[in-house]
Structure 1
């Protein structure tokens, strides 16, 4: 199940760079687009994407920032001397693999959406399952999180296929699902899974699981996957200093229990070994696609059923609701001193006096008492 094409957007990392280059904060950019600052953080991390008019406004603003940056760079170009470019420093990765290109590139040999999705799944799913296992310590939860993330990618396939790093889009979604606080309420968490067989792997996994979720995710992204600090900060929806602080605290906690892992290179190697030693399997791509389409159909049917029930309830309410206001009946007031009539006959003097007294009073009850100042 695919959706129609939408306005193209730069990748999340480029969105964050353009905003910072223009010296705009997330609240300032959110005010210009008309959304909340948390929405901008989600857009820059790649966890969610704008839609409709918000997407068009966001894309137009980013295009304006890019044009201003290009014009400023062109104006300053003659005044600056060319500097030799620094050689990029190699970054460690949890599983060495080339960076994928957009899988739905136009051309005469372009793949169909299903074939492109299957290729992306076969490329990134095995590594993502092992990475997610480091976050949760649960094999089945890691597999389910990655499958749910790929199903979400299939629902938004035109957008994900044009992204420069579709694996990063799926990774952010899988991590969010795996670390959701609602996972602890599932029946699966009542039964612990068997720990790794190797004592060293078991100790390292227990150390990772003792870290706070944000610190654990930052450590896996930086020292495990090999992202740089700005990319890690964007994916965790944090500022670069905050991400660096989380990384330092996570390394200190790991080194305090496992001093041999104080070296980041050794820590990276042990994380890769821990993830590779587990026998983790992912489902076949067609099964994931069919599961996502089935889940989308169920959601659609549930929404239709809820809408029909809401319409029926509204119609029944309109049908049975009163059309005019009926004032409530005031409570009765007991009248004392009326003798019981035992038989018909002439009234006595007391009864005549009482009848005249009742006739002289107001029929609706006693007069209203008003307080008067003394």
Structure 2
């Protein structure tokens, strides 16, 4: 494969990780089937859908065709616009039902998949999606939020000047907003999302100090990875997921400041709902807050909690059942969604650090960790060099000097022979006669 082909394959646009998961479920494909068609493992497909990694080269092009996204050749626009009649014929032709290509066949045509497995799967009918637990239809889910559009500053409209009478004014295109610097974009994201995230994290943990700490931690990491967060389709969701994971970490129970929740609110309804939420397991609490509080749909909730869609549905049903038993007024899904939405939409009252201080703290923490790593590395190099310089080149045995030991018992075995015994032994050994007369004592 030439370099130009590799560059075009690596530049194939892919949808966001959440959209990849949604497209796969819309095609009624499981992770094992996608892994078999792409020639990778199931863990690799899961990392693609969670955003931890992305395919490259020909696998990227094959994965884009499998999901049905346009390839690099599909993004080229024609220079000239077709005439009206062929366009009308094309529209009539597009209205006719066209057979939908199988995703497995398109993946096999990409050239980097297993052809035998792709042919076998293309011959089989698509498997029906795994039945998820039935969720009672609540109020209509609102579409995914688009914070980047909200964060763009609106360009001031200049007063229209009268056109010259001789030449008609050319139609002006849409006004482009001025480009923001990374610092301005981060400050806008922080001002827009931080207060609400602190309030949401407080609903998850019941601890105000921990909620502020979690949001500051999330924005510290967002500024460290700002090139990645700036191009993300949902930067608020990126920061929200980081803040939720930090706030729900089980290690905070060993810290004395966060061992017990804060005092409950004075209102009876809010106190009962917050107490019922805190009794749920962390994963169930997070699922019901995302779905019924923020209005995310089920696939987005499952993707953000890193769970499958059926697992997220089961958690939601269990959380609704527990909240309905604790608070009978919220037994209906509509009532629970209305109450949680109103609770999330409350005006936050927490006082936060300015965005500039958060950015400075993130940079200071990065410098501190960098210096610590460099210091530890330098210390290891010094210790290793000192050990190599002072270590002996050969083994020198240690001979301990002899010492008198008292209290040792008498050595066992036969006693030492006296001179008479030695003489008798020599005489017996020297006599050649081995008979009985040998034992007769000699008379002097």
Q: Residue in 1 aligned with 2:20?
A: 15
Among 286, 297, 305, the alignment partner of 1:228 is 297
Cα gap change, 1:311 to 1:256, in 2 (>3 Å): same
Report if the CA contact (8 A) 2:21-2:299 is conserved. no
Once residues 27 and 309 of structure 1 are traced to their aligned partners in structure 2, the CA distance between those partners, rounded to angstroms, is 50
Report if the CA contact (8 A) 1:18-1:62 is conserved. no
1:318 CA displacement:
2.0
Give the paired residue count.
318
Compute the TM-score of the two structures, normalised by the length of structure 2: 0.61
Q: Residue in 2 aligned with 1:372?
A: none
Cα gap change, 1:292 to 1:259, in 2 (>3 Å): same
Cα gap change, 1:67 to 1:328, in 2 (>3 Å): farther
Three-state SS of the structure 1 residue aligned to 2:147 is coil
Report if the CA contact (8 A) 2:199-2:211 is conserved. yes
1:143 CA displacement:
1.4
Among 374, 378, 402, the alignment partner of 1:304 is 374
Cα gap change, 1:132 to 1:151, in 2 (>3 Å): same
Report if the CA contact (8 A) 1:208-1:254 is conserved. yes
1:185 CA displacement:
1.3
Report if the CA contact (8 A) 1:18-1:65 is conserved. no
1:124 CA displacement:
1.3
Alignment of 1:275-290 (within 5 A): 275=344, 276=346, 279-290=349-360
1:80 aligns with 2:80: no
1:205 CA displacement:
0.6
1:9 CA displacement:
6.0
Alignment of 1:4-153 (within 5 A): 10-17=15-22, 20=25, 21=27, 23=29, 25=31, 29=35, 37=43, 41=46, 44-46=49-51, 49-50=52-53, 55=54, 57=55, 61-70=59-68, 79-80=97-98, 90-91=140-141, 99-101=146-148, 109-153=178-222
CA distances 1:87-114 after superposition (whole Å, capped 9, x unpaired): xx84259xxx952137699x77210000
Three-state SS of the structure 1 residue aligned to 2:68 is helix
CA distances 1:330-353 after superposition (whole Å, capped 9, x unpaired): 999x9969xxxxxxxxxx969x99
Alignment of 1:196-275 (within 5 A): 196-275=265-344
Once residues 331 and 264 of structure 1 are traced to their aligned partners in structure 2, the CA distance between those partners, rounded to angstroms, is 88
1:185 aligns with 2:267: no
1:302 CA displacement:
1.1
Once residues 129 and 28 of structure 1 are traced to their aligned partners in structure 2, the CA distance between those partners, rounded to angstroms, is 38
Cα gap change, 1:34 to 1:328, in 2 (>3 Å): farther
Pairwise CA RMSD of aligned residues?
4.2
Report if the CA contact (8 A) 1:104-1:113 is conserved. no
Higher relative contact order (CA 8 A, sep 6+): 1
Cα gap change, 1:225 to 1:311, in 2 (>3 Å): same
Report if the CA contact (8 A) 1:92-1:268 is conserved. no
Report if the CA contact (8 A) 1:26-1:41 is conserved. no
Structure richer in helix, relative to its length: 1
CA distances 1:284-308 after superposition (whole Å, capped 9, x unpaired): 2111111111111111111111111
Once residues 332 and 371 of structure 2 are traced to their aligned partners in structure 1, the CA distance between those partners, rounded to angstroms, is 53
Cα gap change, 1:123 to 1:71, in 2 (>3 Å): closer
1:178 CA displacement:
0.6
Report if the CA contact (8 A) 1:179-1:213 is conserved. yes
Compute the TM-score of the two structures, normalised by the length of structure 1: 0.71
Once residues 104 and 320 of structure 1 are traced to their aligned partners in structure 2, the CA distance between those partners, rounded to angstroms, is 64
Cα gap change, 1:70 to 1:240, in 2 (>3 Å): closer
Alignment of 1:340-355 (within 5 A): none
Once residues 396 and 40 of structure 2 are traced to their aligned partners in structure 1, the CA distance between those partners, rounded to angstroms, is 46
Report if the CA contact (8 A) 2:24-2:30 is conserved. yes
Alignment of 1:311-326 (within 5 A): 311-325=381-395
Three-state SS of the structure 1 residue aligned to 2:141 is coil
Cα gap change, 1:121 to 1:59, in 2 (>3 Å): farther
Once residues 71 and 160 of structure 1 are traced to their aligned partners in structure 2, the CA distance between those partners, rounded to angstroms, is 23
